Structure 1
Amino acid sequence: MKYIEEFREQGLARNIAANIAAEVDPGREYRLMEFCGGHTHAIFRYGVQDLMPGNVGFIHGPGCPVCVLPMARIDLAIRLLREENVILCIYADLLRVPASGRQSLMKVKAEGADVRMVYSTQDALKIARENPGREVVFFAIGFETTTPPTAVAIRQARAENLGNFSVFCNHVLTPAAMTGLLDAPRAAGEEPVQIDGFLGPSHVSSIIGSRPYEFVPERYGKPVVIAGFEPLDVMQATLMLIRQLNEGRCEVENEYTRVVSREGNRKACDLVEQVFEVREQFEWRGLGHIAHSALRIRPEYADLDAERRFAALADADALIAADNKACECPSILRGAKKPVDCKLFGNGCTPETPMGSCMVSSEGACAAYWSYGRFRQDAQAASA
């Protein structure tokens, strides 16, 4: 890869689109889930859906770590700020995620809580060094992509004997989420989601490799093609899925070979295994509690685990918070509905005034619909 423009070249896009049009079976539907929110934004930003035949559709999946974070975890962070008077370091996407009682970290910050936005775990460590008299908690969030930097920060804090630093761990696991998605019971009044194949995540797969997805075709009979984030990556991976479905094959393929291998980044994975262990259960917004789907800090690093350190987080795994009943984020994250199916979308729920997490995150499906105008096209199609 010399230049990123090579993966956005219009002539190549038209060529792949022509191949897709020539190879699709007009007598069947192709329902493909792009698991990752980064793919959702690429599809909308570059108009990939518009280049597809009418019987090839993308289903938006739960691959946005901010979106799938249950409301209770934000409630706990707010409780931590109010009861323990800590400095809470967060990534910017978390600031506006709605909590219970129409609260958010932005609102409690405006009330005087010490919430600080950081770009990396190293920023959080720096804040802890500069404030030795204050407890500094890093709100760790993300899939396997952002977990290694958290592990590095924990080990670095231990090496420096940084006694005022700890981590509130909310890291979750992609393969387990795919299991939860495929095993999810039908919600009341909601048809089961029909998925023919998956576009596998990009950045996550660069860490864990392609091997962890092999259970999906083996157990569920669904093909997976790992795709890069550029529009030509998405289109080529779509063509690869269509070919698998047409030929009756079902396997894991890797379109993103320039970055992803079967085994992944073993050094990063080994580091994560040294610092974290798998939780028995963890709640996902839209998918409920999924077994072995998240990480917690190992007992060897208990002094750096905010859940063990602060009384305000003592019942972290037990706390349950009810989502806004009018918000369709849970159904959107399961792929059962689109953002335009939500009555709040654009009607009180916008990026400036989000009612649900899917409108907040830079990888959320609602944010993609809003940012790239897809909701206008769907509205026009519905009225035609």
Structure 2
Amino acid sequence: MKYISEFRDGKLAKKLAMAITQEADPARLYHLMEFCGGHTHAIFRYGVQDLVPGNVTYVHGPGCPVCVLPVRRLDDAVELALTEGVILTTYGDMMRVPGTRQKSLIKAKAEGADIRMVYSTQDSLQIARDNPDRQVLFFAIGFETTTPPTAVAILQAQAEGLKNFTVFCNHVLTPPAIAHIVQAPAEPGEDPVRIDGFLGPSHVSSVIGWAPYEPAARNFRKPIVIAGFEPLDVMQSTLMLIRQINAGRHEVENQYTRVVTRGGNEKAQALVARVLELRDEFEWRGLGTVPESALKIREAFADFDAEKRFAVTPKQSREVKSCECPAILRGVKKPVDCKLFGTVCTPENPMGACMVSSEGACAAYWTYGRKRAAAQTQKEKAA
């Protein structure tokens, strides 16, 4: 199968592993943050960490849009869903993420809220067409990858005169997050996160290109390699980062050339810019408030902005006690460092977003079974 089996070839993996071992200086450590949750899953699914030398370490980053959404925004969505006459629609990963007091959208649905999982914004528009007497609210999440469909949906709703369709916009941006990670001070009681380079987002970069990462690479002297999601993509990108680090370079390089260009998808960017604009700041789970790191709906499309149509009550939101998802998203801790992982927190009973999402680090550790032994040991100790 073109562009799939070629990037899972065992012989090529051995050659790349040998090249990485030869070029990685045994006298130094290499801490490489994979920003995307998709990279994390590829590393664990194919055992990439075991193919590279021990002084090359992958640090899990905040590249899971479901995971980085703060509890407060999820609590707001639950409140909106419980509003009389509202149909809330969203992507599947959001349904089981626990909010304050472990209240999730799926639990709100069990209490009678009309919450529907959709596969696209077009599904939400169709629900609005089919239910003209109801308010249909699309809970929009995601990085730059999912912003064009949201923009298109709002434009379509305006063109069709759909008065019962709104968007609760929670789209976040990756370049500001990378800049924030490398310059944010350590939290009290935590050691600073060491990052020598980044495996840059791939699907995101297919939309925005790789040029937006150049200021972060230049200003913070951290090499960034835009990496594909297959195991050989990750390994080749690792080799490219090691070569940059050894040479003292800090540039943006593009390994994912079969998909990503420097300028990205300019038509998609224009659509997004027409409908959405920067927020002054936005809260990320684990990272705190990050300036100019999210999007909101422009005033010209205010009729389709759920935050303006509906009043949301200010509330005290909080993480599930003892859940280390925020520290995992900062790269400070790994899932096995969390007391809940594999004990009370499992895919069947998730305590945090990192276990729920298909891109979450905890889900990767659990799904591919590589850390279940450690989790079982923790469970036995707890017993």
TM-score normalised per structure 2: 0.96
Q: Which runs of 5+ in 1 are unaligned?
A: none
- Report the CA distance between 1:250 and its aligned residue: 1.2
Give the secondary structure class of the aligned counterpart of 2:125.
helix
Aligned counterparts of 1:219 and 1:365: Cα–Cα separation in 2: 28
1:170 shift after superposition:
0.3
1:305 corresponding residue in structure 2: 305
Tell me whether 1:176 sits opposite 2:176 in the alignment: yes
Question: CA separation in 1, counterparts of 2:346 and 2:7?
Answer: 31
Matched, 1:321 2:317: yes
CA contact (8 A) 2:342 2:375 kept: no
Contact map agreement 1:81 1:88 (CA 8 A) in 2: yes
SS in 2 for 1:214: helix
Name 2:344's counterpart in structure 1. Answer: 348
Q: Given the alignment of the two structures, is residue 293 of structure 1 paired with residue 293 of structure 2, yes or no?
A: yes
Cα distance, 1:378–1:102 mapped onto 2, change above 3 Å = closer
Cα deviation, residue 218, structure 1: 1.1
Task: Please give the alpha-carbon distance, in whole angstroms, between the structure 1 residues aligned to 2:374 and 2:215.
Answer: 35
SS at match of 2:96: coil
8 Å CA contact 1:360–1:367 kept in 2: the answer is yes
Which of 343, 355, 361 is the aligned partner of 1:359? 355
Query: Is residue 368 from structure 1 mapped to residue 364 from structure 2 by the alignment?
Result: yes
Does the 8 Å CA contact 1:281/1:294 hold for their aligned counterparts? yes
Paired residues of 2:341 and 2:375 also in contact (CA < 8 A): no
| Conserved 8 A contact 1:281-1:291 | yes
Displacement of 1:324: 2.1
Summarize the Cα distance change of 1:345–1:184 in structure 2 as closer, same or farther, 3 Å threshold. same
1:212 aligns with 2:212: yes
Assess, with a 3 A threshold, how the Cα gap between structure 1 residues 381 and 88 changes in structure 2: closer, same or farther: closer
Does structure 2 conserve the Cα–Cα contact (< 8 Å) formed by 1:286 and 1:333?
Answer: yes
- The list of structure 1 runs, each at least 4 consecutive aligned residues, that deviate by more than 4 angstroms after superposition, is 377-382
Task: Give the Å deviation of 1:378.
Answer: 5.9
Aligned letter for 1:72?
A: R
TM superposition shift of 1:94: 0.4
Letter in 1 for 2:304: L
Q: CA deviation at 1:304?
A: 0.4
Residue type of the partner of 1:347?
Answer: T
Q: 1:193: which partner in 2? A: 193
Structure 1 equivalent of residue 381 of structure 2: none
- Note the 1:203-242 alignment, pairs <5 A: 203-242=203-242
Q: Provide the C-alpha distance between the structure 2 equivalents of 1:348 and 1:169, rounded to a whole number of angstroms.
A: 32
1:53, 1:183 → 2: CA distance? 28
State how 1:258-269 maps to structure 2 within 5 Å. Answer: 258-269=258-269
For 2:331 and 2:338, the matched residues in 1 are separated by: 13
| Structure 2 residue matching 1:141: 3-state secondary structure | strand
1:381 to partner: Cα distance: 12
Relative to the length of structure 1, the TM-score reads 0.96
Could you say which residue in structure 2 is the equivalent of 1:7? 7
- Asked if the contact 2:357–2:363 (Cα under 8 Å) also holds between the matched residues in 1, the reply is yes
How far the C-alpha of 1:216 sits from its partner, in A, is: 1.8
Which residue identity is paired with 2:295? Answer: L
Describe the SS at the equivalent of 2:371.
helix
1:167 and 1:320 map into 2 onto residues whose CA distance is 23
Amino acid at match of 1:212: P
Report the residue type matching 1:298 in the other structure.
R
Identity of matched residues, %: 67
Question: What is the CA–CA distance in structure 2 between the aligned matches of 1:135 and 1:380, rounded to whole Å?
Answer: 46
TM-superposed deviation, 1:172: 0.3
Deviation at 1:85, TM superposition (A): 3.3
Query: 2:126 is matched with which residue?
Result: 126
Quick one: which amino acid aligns to residue 28 of structure 2? R
Corresponding residue for 1:275?
Answer: 275
- Counterpart-to-counterpart distance in 2, 1:232 and 1:326: 36
Aligned partners of 1:104, 1:285: CA distance in 2, in Å?
Answer: 16
Q: CA RMSD in A?
A: 1.6
User: How many residue pairs are counted as aligned between the two chains?
Assistant: 378
Quote the Cα distance in structure 2 between the aligned partners of 1:19 and 1:244.
Answer: 14
Consecutive unaligned residues of structure 2, counting only runs of 5 or more, are 379-383
Report if aligned partners of 1:190, 1:336 keep a CA contact under 8 Å in 2.
yes
What's the CA shift for 1:5?
Answer: 0.2
Deviation at 1:322, TM superposition (A): 1.7
Conserved 8 A contact 1:84-1:310: no
Residues 381 and 72 (structure 1), Cα distance of their counterparts in 2 relative to 1, 3 Å cut:
closer
Offset of residue 33 of structure 1: 0.3
Return the offset for 1:241: 0.3
Which position in structure 1 is the counterpart of 2:136? 136
1:84, distance to aligned residue in structure 2 (A): 3.9
Partner Cα distance (1:339, 1:89) in 2: 30
Deviations 1:251-287 (A, max 9, x none): 1000001111111111101110000010011100000
